[in-house]
Amino acid sequence: MSDFITYQVHSKDPRNYGAVSFHPDIPWNTHKVEYKVTNLNTFANFLITTDEDYLEYKISGKSIKITCFKNKSSYELEEVLKLLNEELPFTVTVTDTGVLSFEYSQQFQITDASHRVKLLLGMYHSNFPLNTSSNTIIAESTPMLTYGNVLYLKSNQGNALGVIIDGDKYHAPCIYRINNFLKPGLPIISNQKGDKVMVNAEAAKTITMELVDFMYEPIKLKSPLFITLKIKYIANQAFN
């Protein structure tokens, strides 16, 4: 019997193409196995915004929530400006440094936004609420009109990856990193070897993987995700 098995799996739920769950058959009589991803491919059909996204702001003590965002897989900066200037009472422009500026005739706050809108507006590392200075709020980061060049594949049994998000530290289970240039609509073909993960053989009978962004938030993917995964036999160790 071979000491490894290769599985080729893919996501099948159109509502959640970014996640794969399967139940491999572990044929060996052993306590532990090792697995790793050896190939990942899909198309860069990520939803940058969905119709569930929102932005909240406050003027003169009144809170307002806008939900004008649509299911879109790509944006041009001009589209973002047009949308914001049509839906918000503010004047939204781009500064010389490439960040968004929100200006109004009086003081106001941007109190909250969904994760994808924070990415789109360059507010992903900002502390909310955002307050005006001279009746203006300037985003601290540039807008992310695509998903950039870093994605992670997390697993229910992945290696601990030290992650710092908004100053908070935690360990996330990561088994694969995609460090490719991602252009909307084009294939993503990654043949680099993933991290080796040693797990209890019984636990390996259910493996769940999910594609997440650089802030470890799930990605809305509109194309199936294909993964090649190798599971390897680990001999039982004798103890005296």
pLDDT in tens, the chain (240 residues): 678 899 999 999 999 999 999 999 888 888 889 999 999 999 999 999 999 999 999 999 999 999 999 999 989 999 999 999 999 999 999 999 999 999 999 999 999 999 999 999 999 999 999 999 899 999 999 999 987 678 999 998 766 665 555 556 556 688 899 987 788 889 999 998 888 888 888 888 899 999 999 888 999 999 999 999 999 988 875 433
For residue 239 the two structure tokens come to: 């103890």
Where a domain ends, among 138, 164, 188? 138
Taking the CA atoms of residue 178, residue 189, residue 44 and residue 231 in that order, the dihedral angle to the nearest 10 degrees is -60
**Which alpha helices (H) appear in 77-167, and where do they start and end?**
77-87, 115-121
Same domain, 37 and 64: no
Please state the domain count of the chain.
2
Tell me which residue range forms the domain holding 121. 55-138
